Amino acid sequence: MLGVLGAGSIALVALGGCSIKRYEGVNLVAGKQLFVSKCSSCHTLARASAKGTVGPNLDDAFRNSLASGLERTTIRGAVRQQILYPETGGVMPAKLVSPTDANDVAAYVAYAADRTGQDSGLLASAVPSAGAGKPAVEANGVLQINADPSGQLSYVTKTATAKPGPVTVKMANMSGTMHNIALQQGTGPSGPVLGAGKIVTTGTSSFTANLKAGTYTYFCQVPGHRAAGMSGTLTVK
């Protein structure tokens, strides 16, 4: 799958030389970013911290073949072909990215699939850690907890605080993945599921709840997202 990357170049990118971003036409950093934004909601790939369950687990999918001697260049070609020409009637849309971007995504998947350890250097910093933002704080009865814009199955923060009383919880979604926000409170108030790019108030997933002091869980109701880590803790005091 890494057809234009020799073993030496893979090692250099893995070691994270600061000047190494593109090598012989393939950009692994861009490939990781695109994979996270376009593919991580459906696929699991440990090095990308992707935990999607709709499509195949890419670490599992290639493990036996790699152990049997399958070249990563072959994986790269197979993934690129699947991106550009997916099965008819399948969940994956055709040509999810451009042919050039497909090269980068396929190269990263081939590099990362069933590879132990963690990305380092430029690859490690290519995508912000999921949910690592500052805690969300309610102000004037409004609590804003946005979906991660990079496409990870996460909100921008895993912690939030609010005062008791009526609180409107809002979630903007600028990612390419469907999300909403709900609160685990009895039957659970929730906002509508939204697609990409809906940042205006009328396109924001929101709900209003009368909160008592205590601890609550907020989460995404799209199947598989909460299990993949799209949740957080709201403390009301």
Q: Examine residue 176 and state whether it is found in any structural domain, yes or no.
A: yes
Same domain (yes/no): 56, 98: yes
Domain encompassing residue 168: 136-236
Strand 182-183 relative to strand 205-211, pairing: unpaired
Q: Is 1 within a domain? A: no
Quickly state the pLDDT bin for 187 (edges 50, 70, 90): low
Tens of pLDDT, residue by residue over 27-39, are: 999 999 999 888 8
Sign of CA dihedral 102, 106, 109, 113: positive
At 214, which CATH number?
Answer: 2.60.40.420
More confident residue, 176 or 234: 234
Q: Domain total for the chain?
A: 2
Q: Is residue 110 part of a domain?
A: yes
Do 38 and 145 share a domain, yes or no?
Answer: no
Q: What is the pLDDT of residues 65-91, one digit of tens each?
A: 999 999 999 999 999 999 998 887 777
CA–CA distance, 199 with 196 (Å, rounded to integer): 9
Structure tokens at 81: 């072909």
| 23 and 118 part of one domain | yes
Look up residue 52 and give its two tokens: 């999607």
Q: What is the pLDDT of residues 137-150, one digit of tens each?
A: 999 999 999 998 88
Task: Look over the chain and give the mean of its residue pLDDT values, rounded to a whole number.
Answer: 82
Is 185 within the bounds of a domain? yes
How far apart, in Å, do the first and last CA atoms of the chain sit?
A: 53
Last residue of a domain, one of 69, 95, 124: 124
Instruction: Give the pTM.
Output: 0.68
In Å, the largest CA–CA distance within the chain is: 61
- Assess whether 16 and 94 both reside in one domain: yes
